[in-house]
Amino acid sequence: MAKKIIWLFMLFTCGGVLFSQAHPYADENKLSAEMAERVVLANSVKDYPVTPGDVYTLTYLTSGGSRAIDVTVQSDFSLNLGVFGELSAKDITYQELRQKIENLVRRSYPGSRPRLVIFSTGVFRVYLKGEVTKAQYVNCWGLSHLSEVITDKTTRFSSLRDLEMRSDDGKTGTYDLFKAERFGERAQDPYVKPGSTVTVKKIKRLVKVYGEVARPGSYQLLEGEGLPELLAGFAGGFTAFSDTSRIRVSRLVAADKPEGRAFYLDRNDPLYKRFVLGNLDEVYVPSKEDSLPLVYFEGAMQIEDKTGAVSESEPGSDVISQKVPYRFVQGQKLSSALQELYHRFSAHSDLKHAYIVRVGEKNPLPVDIEALIQHYDPKNDIVLMPNDRVVIPFRQFSVTVSGAVLKPGLYPYMPGRSFKYYIQLAGGTDPQKNVGGSVTITDVNDVIQPPTRIIQPDDKIYADYNNALYHANQWAVVIGTAVSVTALVLTIIQLSH
C-alpha cells in the first residue's frame, strides 16, 4: 500500500513525466510506454472524458491512517466508491469527476485531503464503415479524435467533409475534417465515444484549382459551395498577380459535351456567385502578366528546355532558329529585355547586325545589341512596342580563300584546321602562279597572322602570286602585243604615202 501511495503522489506532482520502468509498481503492472503516456495525458488535460474501463485510485486520510480505493468505470459509466456509495460519470470529464468525488470525501471526512488520480485508461472500440479500405473495428481511448479513427483506412474516393458519427444512444453528428485541418476548427474533429459508428461517404464533387491562388490543389465541395468558397476560402484567396476578370472553368466531364467545354467568368459578375461547379471541374485563375503585350525575339537564339537550362552550341554545329515570346510593360526598353534574355545568345548570334521589324514601319530598325549589352548608351536604346520582332541574324562562319588558287571563294569554317585544308577546298594553288604554296593569312581585323596559326572564323587566306616565270610570260605577251601594234601602225603610214 505504501508503494502505491508513493507512486500516485509522484504521478500527480510530476504531471507530464512518463512512468519510470525502474519504479517497482510500474514494473509490477508492466505498464508500457504508450499506456504510461496516456495516463499522464489523461491526468493533465482538462477535457479527458470519463471512459468505461478507466481505473482511478482515491486516496484520503483518516484517524486510522491513509486509505486507498481502486475505482473502475463500468460500461454504463457507474462507479462504486465503497463507503461513499455509487455515482454516475456519464458525459463528464475526469476533472469534473475528480472535483465531485473529492468534495464528497471532504464532507464525510473533513481534513482528509482526498486525491483522485487516474491509474490506467480504458480502451473501447469504434466501428468504421463506408468508403474505407474495409469495414472494421478500431481500438480507441478517451482522447482518440475522429481523424485518428480513419487514418490510413480511407480510399482516394473517401469524403473527409461529411463524416457521420452515430453514438450508441442514437445521436448522429456530421463532421468536416477538412475544416478541422485547414482552418483549425477543433469542433469538427471531436473525441470519439464508446460504441460509436463512423460512416465515411464517397466524394461527390472534387474540383482542381491552379494558377494565381495562394493554395492551388484539389478540393472537395459540399452542396451549396461554389467559386467564392473555393477560391477565396479553401484556395486561400487570390495572389497580387491574379486577373479575376478572366477566370476559366474547364469542364472535362460533361454528359452533354463528351469533348468537354470551358466557361469564362468575371469575379464581379453576378454569375460568379451563382455558377455551379461540377465534379472534376478545373478552375484556372490567370495572371495579369498573361494580358501584357508581346514582343518576339527570333533567329539565332539558343534552345531552352523545360527546366530553364540552355543548351550550348559549338561553332559549326547545327543551330535551331527559335521564336521566343517576351512580355513587357508599357514604356519598357529593349535593354531591360536583353538583361533577361542575354543567356539565350551564343557565338552564332550576330548581335551587331540585329534589327527590329515593327508594325507600321516600312523598313527594319537596325540595332546594335552587342553595344547595348556591353557599352550601354541611353541614346541608342529603343522603347518596345507591341508585336515587335527583334531579329538576331546568324553569324556566318566562313573563311575567304583568294589569290593564286583554282577556285577562289568563301568556304565553311571547320574548327581546328590549318590553311592547307582551305587551300585544298579551293582546288589547290595554281602552279603557274604560285610556287611552294606560299600564302598570306589575315584575321577579321586584317592583321597578318603566321602560317602556323590554326584558322579562325572570318580569316582570309591569300595564295601569293610568286612564280617569276609566270610574270615573265605575262610581260612577254604584253611586249609582243605592243611590237605587233607598232609594226602595223608603221605599215599603214607607209602605204598612205
Query: pLDDT: is 352 or 321 the higher one?
Result: 352
Q: Which three cell numbers stand for residue 489?
A: 601602225
At residue 480, the pLDDT reads 55
Count Cβ atoms below 10 Å from residue 418 Cβ, excluding itself: 14
Question: pLDDT by residue (tens digit) across 237-272?
Answer: 999 999 999 999 999 876 666 667 899 999 999 999
SS3 47: coil
Q: What percent of the chain has pLDDT over 90?
A: 63
346-377 as b/e: b if 16+ CB within 10 A? bebbbbeebbbebeeeeeeeebbbeebeeeee
Do 312 and 303 form a contact (C-beta atoms < 8 A)? no
In eight-state DSSP terms, residue 238 is B
If you write DSSP's letter for every residue of 381-416 in order, what string do you get? --B--TT-EEEEPBP--EEEEEESBSS-EEEE--TT
Q: Pinpoint the alpha helices (H) of 306-392.
A: 334-341, 369-374
User: Mind listing the pLDDT tens digit for each residue in 159-211?
Assistant: 999 999 999 888 999 999 999 999 999 999 999 999 999 999 999 999 999 99
Return the domain boundaries, the chain. 2-121, 124-200, 206-290, 292-392, 398-466
Q: For residue 377, what are the contacts with CB-CB under 8 A and spacing of at least 6? A: 371
Lowest model confidence (mean pLDDT) among 26-30, 121-125, 302-306, 359-363 = 26-30
Q: Which helix (H) or strand (E) holds 9?
A: helix 2-14
Render pLDDT for 447-473 as a digit per residue (tens, 0 to 9).
Answer: 999 999 999 888 999 999 887 655 555
Rounded to whole angstroms, the Cα distance separating 420 from 443 reads 16
User: Given this model, what pLDDT does residue 432 score?
Assistant: 85
pLDDT digits (tens, 9 = 90+) for 376-408: 999 999 999 999 999 998 877 889 999 999 999
Spatial separation of the C-alpha atoms in residues 193 and 49, rounded to whole Å: 9
pLDDT at residue 485 is higher than 90? no
For residues 404 and 423, what is the distance between their CA atoms, to the nearest angstrom? 10
Question: What are the helix (H) ranges across 187-313?
Answer: 227, 270-274
Please return the burial class of 437, using the count of CB atoms within 10 Å of its CB with bins 0-12, 13-18 and 19+: middle
What is the rounded CA–CA span in Å between residue 383 and residue 294?
Answer: 13
pLDDT of 96 higher than 70: yes
Reported as a pLDDT band with limits 50, 70 and 90, residue 323 is confident
- The model carries a pTM of 0.63
> Mean pLDDT, to the nearest integer, of 65-86?
92
Q: Give the model's pLDDT for residue 239.
A: 96
In which band, very low, low, confident or very high, does the pLDDT at 342 lie, cut at 50, 70 and 90? confident
The one-character DSSP state at 15 is: T
For residue 87, the SS3 value is strand
CA 442: distance to chain centroid? 53
Instruction: Encode 190-214: b = buried (16+ Cβ within 10 Å), e = exposed.
Output: ebbbbebbbbbbebebbbebebbbe
User: Which of 3.40.50.720, 3.30.830.10, 3.30.1950.10, 3.40.50.300 is the CATH number of 2-121?
Assistant: 3.30.1950.10
Say what the pLDDT of residue 161 is.
96
Rounded Cα–Cα distance for residues 175 and 333 (Å): 57
CB 274: neighbour CB atoms within 10 A? 9
**Averaged pLDDT score across all residues of the chain:** 86
| pLDDT for the residue 444 | 81
- The radius of gyration of the chain's CA atoms, rounded to the nearest angstrom, is 47
Distance CA 179, CA 222 (A): 12
Fold annotation for 206-290 = Outer membrane lipoprotein wza fold like (3.10.560)
CA–CA distance, 291 with 480 (Å, rounded to integer): 81
* Euclidean distance between CA atoms 132 and 156, whole angstroms: 9
CATH: 3.30.1330.10, 3.10.560.10, 1.10.287.110, 2.40.50.140. Which one for 124-200?
A: 3.10.560.10
Q: Which residues of 455-488 are buried (b: 16+ CB within 10 A; e: fewer)?
A: bebbbbbbbbbbbeebeeeeeeeeeeeeeeeeee
Q: Please state the φ and ψ torsions of residue 80, each to the nearest 5 degrees.
A: -100, 110
Give yes or no for a contact between 139 and 123, defined as CB atoms under 8 angstroms apart.
Answer: yes
With both helix axes pointing from N to C terminus, report the angle between 2-14 and 33-44 in degrees, rounded to the nearest 10. 60
pLDDT band at residue 2 under the 50/70/90 scheme: very low
Dig out the grid coordinates for 154 from the structure: 480511407
Question: What Å distances lie between residue 270 and 227, 230, 274, 275, CA to CA?
Answer: 12, 16, 7, 9
**Cα pseudo-dihedral 424, 430, 431, 433, rounded to 10:** -140
The cell numbers describing 11, all together, are: 504521478
The stretches of 45-92 forming alpha helices (DSSP H) are none
Annotation: CATH topology of 292-392: Outer membrane lipoprotein wza fold like (3.10.560)
- Distance (Å, whole) CA 94 – CA 50: 5
pLDDT of 225 higher than 90: yes
The SS3 assignment for 209 reads strand
Query: Do the first three CATH levels of 2-121 and 292-392 match, i.e. the same topology?
Result: no
Task: Give me the amino acid identity at 318.
Answer: D
How far is residue 226's CA from residue 88's CA, in Å, rounded to a whole number?
Answer: 47
pLDDT tens digit string along 424-441? Answer: 999 998 888 888 888 999
List phi, psi (to 5°) of 193: -115, 155
Contacts of 31 (CB under 8 A, 6+ apart): 19, 39, 120
